[in-house]
C-alpha cells in the first residue's frame, strides 16, 4: 500500500467513525427512553468507540511501521547500488586516465 492509498484509507476510516458517532448520537437523542438508560447506552457506545479507535490507531501504526521498514530497505538497496555504480565509474575513469598517460608517453 503506497502513501496515497494509506492516506485514503485513513480518511475513509475517519469519515466512517465520525458518521457513526453522529448517527448514534442522533439516534440516542431522538429515541423515546429514560435519561438513565440513554446515559448507559452512551457510556457503552463510547467505550466501544474507544476500543475501535484504539484498534484503528494500532492498525495505522503497524502500517506506518511496515512502510518505514520498506522505505529503509529500499534506501539501503539503492545506496548499495549507487556505491557499486560509483566504484565501477571510478575504475573506468582510472583505466581511462592510465591509458591516456600511456599514450602520452609513447
**d(Cα 23, Cα 36) in Å, to the nearest integer?**
20
Map out the domains of the chain as residue ranges: 3-105
Q: What is the largest CA-CA distance in the chain?
A: 106
Whether the pLDDT of residue 82 is over 90: the answer is yes
6-55 residue pLDDT tens = 778 778 888 888 888 888 878 777 777 777 887 888 888 888 888 888 88
Q: What is the mean pLDDT of residues 1-10?
A: 75
17 Cβ partners below 8 Å, 6+ apart? 49, 52, 53, 56
**d(Cα 85, Cα 66) in Å, to the nearest integer?**
28
Is the pTM above the cut of 0.85?
no
Q: Which of 4, 8, 22, 9 is nearest to 56 (CA)?
A: 9
Amino acid at each position: 500500500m503506497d502513501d496515497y492509498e494509506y492516506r485514503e484509507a485513513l480518511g475513509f476510516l475517519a469519515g466512517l467513525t465520525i458518521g457513526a458517532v453522529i448517527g448514534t448520537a442522533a439516534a440516542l437523542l431522538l429515541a423515546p427512553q429514560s435519561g438513565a438508560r440513554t446515559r448507559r447506552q452512551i457510556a457503552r457506545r463510547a467505550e466501544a468507540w474507544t476500543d475501535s479507535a484504539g484498534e484503528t490507531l494500532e492498525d495505522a501504526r503497524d502500517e506506518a511501521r511496515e512502510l518505514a521498514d520498506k522505505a529503509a530497505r529500499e534506501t539501503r538497496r539503492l545506496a548499495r547500488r549507487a556505491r557499486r555504480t560509483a566504484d565501477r565509474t571510478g575504475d573506468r575513469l582510472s583505466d581511462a586516465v592510465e591509458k591516456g598517460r600511456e599514450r602520452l608517453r609513447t
